[in-house]
Amino acid sequence: MAKTSEKYELMYIINPTLSEEDTAAVVAKFKALVEEHGTLDEMEEMGKRKLAYEIDDMSEGYYVLVKFTSNPAFPAELDRILGITDGVMRSLITLRAE
């Protein structure tokens, strides 16, 4: 029998040159998206941190960690939206170990 929901972890990095309002808007957008399509288990805004390597000539980014539960189809759509959202530099969605 197929699982109806899985636990996921999303880490995304927002461009540090965005204003506080724009950064908050991006965070709110993905929080709402996760809540609309699943259950938000935990969310942590880790703030500005040094990147492991430069992305687009930037050495830091604003990190956000989101743990959520959703059906297995949602992460692909979430990843697509992250990829086309201005201000999101990188994102990674992984399956959480139970």
pLDDT tens for the chain, 98 residues long, are 456 889 999 999 999 999 999 999 999 999 999 999 999 999 999 999 999 999 989 999 999 999 999 999 999 999 999 999 999 999 999 999 86
**Strands 6-14 vs 38-55: parallel, antiparallel or unpaired:** unpaired
Closest CA relative to residue 72, chosen from 38, 46, 29, 24: 38
Does the domain at 6-95 match CATH 3.30.70.60? Answer given as yes
Q: How far apart are CA 84 and CA 98, in angstroms?
A: 30
